Amino acid sequence: MMTIEENHQAREHYSTLIPYRSDIDGLRAIAVIAIICFHLSPETFPGGYLGVDVFFVLSGFLITRILLQKPAEARTFIDFYKRRAKRILPASIMVMIVLIIVGFFFFDPYSLSLLGKQVTFSQSFMANVFMWRNASDYWGLAAENLPLLHMWSLAVEEQFYLIFPLLFAVPLLRRHLPTLIISLISAGIVISVYGSVYHKGMAFYLAPFRAWEFLSCSVLAMLKKKHGLNIASGYYIRIAGLLLLVGVLICWDGRANFPFSGALSAVLPTLVLIGQREHLSDSDPPARILSIPLVVYIGKISYSLYLWHWPFFVIPLILGLPSALFWFFVPVSIISYHLIEKPFRQNGRIIIVLYGCVIVLIFGIVLGLGKVTGLRSFHYQMPRIAVEYDAQKFINDGGLVVNLRSKSWVLVLGNSMAYQHAKTINRAFSNFRIEYLTVGGTPTRFLLPGEDGTDRDPPIVWTHSERVSFDHLRKMRIESDPDFIIVSERWNFADVGEMQAVLSFLDYLSDHTNRLIILSETPNLEVPQGLNILSVEHRFHIRGNSETWAPVSPEFLRRSKGANLELSHFSEVREGVYFVPLDSHFLHGNYAWIADGQNLLYGNSSHLSLAGSMYLLDDFLGIMRSIVH
């Protein structure tokens, strides 16, 4: 066993072999600032999320340099894992402890259980898998209810740290390391390109699709060690690299084919900047900029800034608190760095870190199982929304189908405004085959000639060819003349051209069915975006024995008034067309009915719960009775 003195000497030995580079801390600063700016204003800084890819590249470079300096002995690899654990885990454990305490006192039971699951997966180095399954759209509203969403990238790094050193530990693999890593990069790029087109959620979150980013810098580190290679020896190349990186982090918006295209745009300039020689003169502009003391300090605390910024962004949303509380993450991050991260990294005992991991993991499991409901009192259980009827995952199979054997059939079209009523539709049309071609965030009408179908906005990202294929599938099913077509979306008739296009599409639908049922949009509540519905309950002091009304968004009232008039008129002049206004059930003046004394009728600020949608059952049954008579 190494003595304390031997261990100290070994640290000094490796630190001399691997000189400190202030410019790398400067790159960390740029990356974390870009990420924070993106979360604050994605419209202003659309490329800021690529800061994560910069971190991946830096991690690959630094870890490879460390491993190349160490002899291939078991003891050195154990030491490597200890150092990584002491570097990463203490600060992240503290974040989770704080969140567990906040959740226990202030979260509703559903949010507390969800937090417990996030803690469990984060402590198991599997947060990216959890986020892939529960927030496959990183840009969507669902992500804003996850206080540990940002732990996905840490999980990817942890998985890399666990597996990558094995290539150095096995003598046979170590002898062929350059060839092996180049082969892995090639394979990684292929699956990343494939995933960027066909499996965007997996490609965003899962490590195999991200491995090439780490490994690209591993090759660079090996070339620098063996040949002293400087890929950015030219003065203007370094300036171009820095300008390109900053420009990409501010302006790039390549979500349609992300992660590969966007990641590549961040990886290449980062490679250029870290590929320069170890010590540059003070007259070198990129080196001087990246080595400004304030920039270097931000880089040093970048890990703490990254860990704390997202919880401080999300918690006010969940609890309905002022968004200005977000900025407290800065002093908290500074304190975290100086009192937790830095002391543990330099002198912390690994056994304390491991005990902390186990204790937090146990709390996460208990909370995730719903065994503890916290101290905050709620009068209702978390309402459900029929999100499983978003047919995005079933498009290649022709949509989602209920009651396969029935001959008479119903076709449901639209986005989340339509599939939120799926359980009610299934009950009303229990003797019918029901086909759902409903995809969240997607307009119901077909693309117009010459219109670009590319959509980079959440909750789904379309390429033009994907949207054209989806329109083709819907057209085939519509022209199969279903007995009923049910359609709903966020009707927006403020633009005359859009109104004419939608009415023309509805006219086309009515030509291919005996009965067309048009549902109006759900009244949107005037509450902070992303606010959990149980927090809405608390906000409006809902009690379990009384009806409750909440204010409706003025923007919705302006938009829906004209749309409902047009849709009502359309149903009156076309035979076999029925318009079902949700206003008659849920709207009274400027207020929406959100609780009936037994159930919450909303699932979130703009969608009905299953209980709320059931109030439309009589409307559907009434339409069917009118047909019989």
Per residue in 21-31, pLDDT tens?
A: 888 999 999 99
> Could you tell me if 364 and 304 lie in one domain?
yes
Strand-pair partners of 515: 484
pLDDT at site 74 = 54
> Could you tell me if 352 and 457 lie in one domain?
no
pLDDT band with cut points at 50, 70 and 90 for residue 456: low
Please determine, for residue 333, whether its predicted confidence score (pLDDT) is greater than 80.
yes
**Are 555 and 516 contacting, i.e. CB atoms less than 8 angstroms apart?**
no
Domain harbouring 618, CATH code: 3.40.50
Q: Whose CA is closest to 523, among 407, 604, 429, 430? A: 604
DSSP helix/strand/coil, 409 = strand
> Could you tell me if 90 and 127 lie in one domain?
yes
Please determine, for residue 577, whether its predicted confidence score (pLDDT) is greater than 90.
yes
Residue 256 falls within a domain, yes or no? yes
> Could you tell me if 158 and 194 lie in one domain?
yes
Q: Which percentage of the chain shows pLDDT scores above 90?
A: 48
Per residue in 545-576, pLDDT tens?
A: 667 888 999 999 998 999 999 999 999 999 99
Query: Which of 32-36, 297-301, 546-550, 614-618 shows the lowest per-residue confidence on average (mean pLDDT)?
Result: 546-550
pLDDT at site 597 = 80
Rounded Cα gap, residues 19 and 351, in angstroms: 29
> Could you tell me if 477 and 340 lie in one domain?
no
Residue 529 falls within a domain, yes or no? no
Long-range contacts at 73-82 (CB < 8 A, ≥ 24 apart): 74/169, 75/2, 77/165, 77/168, 77/169, 79/10, 80/165, 81/161, 81/165, 82/350
Query: Which of 70-84, 157-171, 284-298, 501-515 shows the lowest per-residue confidence on average (mean pLDDT)?
Result: 70-84
pLDDT at site 137 = 59
Mean pLDDT of 601-625: 89
> Could you tell me if 335 and 406 lie in one domain?
no
**Residue 33's CB: how many other CB atoms inside 10 A?**
19
Query: Which of 168-177, 226-235, 489-498 shows the lowest per-residue confidence on average (mean pLDDT)?
Result: 226-235
Residue 273 falls within a domain, yes or no? yes
Please determine, for residue 5, whether its predicted confidence score (pLDDT) is greater than 90.
no
Rounded Cα gap, residues 384 and 612, in angstroms: 10
> Could you tell me if 364 and 447 lie in one domain?
no
Higher pLDDT residue, 70 or 166? Answer: 166
Please determine, for residue 582, whether its predicted confidence score (pLDDT) is greater than 70.
yes
Residue 376 falls within a domain, yes or no? no
Rounded Cα gap, residues 473 and 470, in angstroms: 5
> Could you tell me if 393 and 295 lie in one domain?
no
Residue 430 falls within a domain, yes or no? yes
Q: What is the dihedral of CA 486, 463, 39, 309, to 10 degrees?
A: 100
- Give the residue from 339, 368, 397 where a domain finishes: 368
Given the structure tokens 């146990």, which residue do they identify? 362
Is the pTM higher than 0.85? The answer reads no
> Could you tell me if 462 and 573 lie in one domain?
yes
Question: Percentages helix, strand, coil for the chain, rounded to the nearest 5?
Answer: 65, 10, 30
Strand order in the sheet with 484-488: 400-402, 433-438, 409-414, 484-488, 515-519, 577-580
Please determine, for residue 323, whether its predicted confidence score (pLDDT) is greater than 60.
yes
Query: Which of 140-154, 171-185, 571-585 shows the lowest per-residue confidence on average (mean pLDDT)?
Result: 140-154
> Who contacts 278 (Cβ-Cβ below 8 Å, separation ≥6)?
19, 21
> Could you tell me if 359 and 443 lie in one domain?
no
- Give the residue from 313, 334, 368 where a domain finishes: 368
Residue 302 falls within a domain, yes or no? yes
> Could you tell me if 429 and 329 lie in one domain?
no
Domain count of the chain? 2
Please determine, for residue 194, whether its predicted confidence score (pLDDT) is greater than 80.
yes
Mean pLDDT of 446-450: 90
- Give the residue from 368, 396, 427 where a domain finishes: 368
pLDDT band with cut points at 50, 70 and 90 for residue 16: very low
Rounded Cα gap, residues 583 and 593, in angstroms: 10
Residue 379 falls within a domain, yes or no? no
pLDDT band with cut points at 50, 70 and 90 for residue 72: low
pLDDT at site 6 = 39
Rounded Cα gap, residues 109 and 369, in angstroms: 11
Residue 607 falls within a domain, yes or no? no
> Could you tell me if 180 and 247 lie in one domain?
yes
Query: Which of 51-55, 193-197, 376-380 shows the lowest per-residue confidence on average (mean pLDDT)?
Result: 376-380
> Can you give the residue range of the structural domain that contains 363?
4-368
